[in-house]
Structure 1
Amino acid sequence: MWPVPPDPGVALRMRTAHARARAALHSHPALGSAEAWGWNGRTLGMPVVTLSRPAWLRVASAPTDQIADTYWNGAIEAQDSLPPSIPRPQLWRWHDWSDPTWAYRSELYEYVADSTVAAPAVITAPPNLPAGWWRGVRAALEVIAAIRTTRVTIQPGFLAWAMPHYLGVPASDYATLPWTPAHGDFHFANLCAPNLRILDWEGWGHAPAGYDAAMLHSYSLLTPETADEVEREMAHLLTTPAGRYSELVVITELLHAAKQGTNPEIAAPLRRRAASILGRPTVAARGSG
């Protein structure tokens, strides 16, 4: 989630879309409900009340000529493919519509009473996690990694360009390491406590083994105490060659995002972490900027 609404024009368009979705799915805003915005206003969610029960209604939008199937259909395919042992809100119904410029998908979910561990993805203070919470995380990641799917979270072609560009290492050096299914956006703003629930399944699919643990660690680097805890609790995933590669992959992605203005405050610790893994300072390819 993002802590503030996007550009006023985007906010108005998405609030209008959310009102349309509420009417289509026979729901109304819950008393005192707060908005939860996605990146650049691409999504808007809030608690609602249906005819029979509380729910969460999320609306996603994309330009009609730029719909990426992986992210557009991820939640529906998760509902169809993921076993019930993975703790997550159930997707009950969805509704699509479009205009000449924008496509919209509204998704009505089971309401989760527990809050996310953090509001932003990048944490700046150690979270207070209950006993047994990490055990649930490890169990969930084990189940996720065994799912059968053809979905892909991160494209090898992007890594072939981006890893030399940002780290000065060829992705081909790691071509023999395994990939397994991953949640794909595994950070404390998508994880609930005290009862573990994993939110936002739009980008799940194959990624380097250990990818989710690596993402949780990378987003925690501004809070070294928490980064150390993640590394300790996820050691079985992060200390393997595949796990080290997954960290480099996540670091590459987040450095790319930082260069575009998303969470630039973690760029320096990401580079320090990459240097620690590689055993040398990161050196981007010539002309990469």
Structure 2
Amino acid sequence: MTLSRRAGERWLRVFSTKRTDAARPGGQGIVGAEALVPDDVPRPRLHGSLDWVTDGFGYGADLLDFVPHPVISPHRPDLDHDPGLTEEWWCTLRRAISSLGRAQGERTTVRDSWIEKAFPQFLGIPAPEKVERATGHGDLHWGNLTAPLNILDWERWGLLPVGYDPGLLYVNSLLVPEVAARIRAEFADVLDTPPAESANSSPWPRCCKPSPAATTPSWPRSWSPAPPNSPAFGRLSPAVRRSRPDGQECECLPAVPRAFPVSGHSAFPAPAPRGGDHSGRAPR
């Protein structure tokens, strides 16, 4: 369970765990991010942490910067409209992801065991024998980004397949083709390759799917998840076709077959359970 609230100019996060040892693993989570993530990556900074054990349960507390700017998508991880982000915002995001990629990652967030299952299940091809990794955020969606840019929720950061972060953000932008196209343009060096090299093109936009929260009833009904044996899934799988809120059908970029949320079939490792907002963001 996690509880959090504003505490003056700070954001206080308190959580419980079944771990009986109080110390958190080094180099991971919020504490690890404060020590290892470069200063030029905009995020709530950690001002203090405390871990303890009482009655067989572990507890922890973190005191972070309070971020006064609201998240770009407060109720869902994906976009349903163009937020009108500035050129400065896009440049800052690009620099932040590039800088983060050069940081020392201590934990492999997306493990080989998941890759070995996801490639044949969602792409119909064998998993690569070797996966190039770089340090990344691990949960980069629109509910964890603010404008001006702050990147929130650093629980899952670590070593990821190259292109995983922009791929996940891209998948969570497909309702707004203009934004999806901008992400592909900004991160073309990891998401696109020439057609002659398509066999080696980045698979992560096709394997990633929106976070589990995106399958809640807050999604428009025409965008609800469909089981893989339904006619709706058959239409979505080849090129990800969906109806826009204005009633017009749009064909999103075709690099994402079998990528959308399917009830009971997760292509993306579920985040740790959370009982409240613990990212240092403004209250909604």
Q: Same fold (TM over 0.5)?
A: yes
Distance 1:128 1:266 in 2: 27
Query: Contact 1:244/1:277 (CA < 8 Å) preserved in 2?
Result: no
SS of corresponding position for 2:122: helix
SS of corresponding position for 2:173: coil
Alignment partner, residue 153 of structure 2: 200
Selected match of 2:15 from 37, 41, 60: 60
Selected match of 2:224 from 265, 272, 277: 265
AA partner of residue 236 (structure 1): D
Alignment partner, residue 120 of structure 2: 164
> What CA deviation, in whole Å up to 9, does each residue of 1:136-158 have, x standing for no partner?
11111111111122321111112
Distance 2:201 2:59 in 1: 36
Selected match of 2:189 from 236, 246, 252: 236
TM-score by length of 2: 0.68
Alignment partner, residue 46 of structure 1: 5
Does the C-alpha gap of structure 1 residues 227 and 44 become closer, same or farther in structure 2, counting only changes over 3 Å? farther
Alignment partner, residue 246 of structure 1: 204
Shift of 1:74: 1.1
Does the C-alpha gap of structure 1 residues 228 and 70 become closer, same or farther in structure 2, counting only changes over 3 Å? farther
> What CA deviation, in whole Å up to 9, does each residue of 1:187-229 have, x standing for no partner?
1111111x21111111111111111101111111222232222
> What CA deviation, in whole Å up to 9, does each residue of 1:110-162 have, x standing for no partner?
12222211112122122121231100111111111111223211111122123
Distance 1:66 1:215 in 2: 33
Query: Contact 2:136/2:157 (CA < 8 Å) preserved in 1?
Result: yes
Q: Which has the higher contact order (CA 8 A, sep 6+)?
A: 2
Which residues in structure 2 correspond to 1:74-85 (within 5 Å)? 74-85=29-40
Unaligned runs of 5+ in 1: 1-41, 283-287
Selected match of 2:137 from 165, 179, 183: 183
AA partner of residue 227 (structure 1): A
Which moved further from structure 2: 227-236 or 99-108? 99-108
Query: Contact 2:28/2:158 (CA < 8 Å) preserved in 1?
Result: no
Shift of 1:65: 7.3
Shift of 1:107: 1.0
TM-score by length of 1: 0.67
- Are 1:219 and 2:178 an aligned pair? no
Distance 1:212 1:71 in 2: 23
AA partner of residue 166 (structure 2): A
AA partner of residue 68 (structure 2): A
SS of corresponding position for 2:87: coil
Distance 2:255 2:21 in 1: 36
Which residues in structure 2 correspond to 1:97-112 (within 5 Å)? 97-100=52-55, 102-112=57-67
Shift of 1:248: 3.0
> What CA deviation, in whole Å up to 9, does each residue of 1:225-249 have, x standing for no partner?
3222222222222114776222233
Whose helix fraction is larger, Structure 1's or Structure 2's? 1
Distance 1:72 1:61 in 2: 19
- Are 1:277 and 2:255 an aligned pair? yes
Shift of 1:276: 3.1
Selected match of 1:131 from 76, 80, 87: 87
Unaligned runs of 5+ in 2: 227-232, 241-252, 260-264, 267-284
Query: Contact 1:184/1:204 (CA < 8 Å) preserved in 2?
Result: yes
SS of corresponding position for 1:180: strand
SS of corresponding position for 1:206: strand
SS of corresponding position for 1:153: coil
Does the C-alpha gap of structure 1 residues 165 and 103 become closer, same or farther in structure 2, counting only changes over 3 Å? farther
Query: Contact 2:27/2:105 (CA < 8 Å) preserved in 1?
Result: no
Query: Contact 2:41/2:100 (CA < 8 Å) preserved in 1?
Result: yes
CA RMSD of superposed structures (Å): 3.7
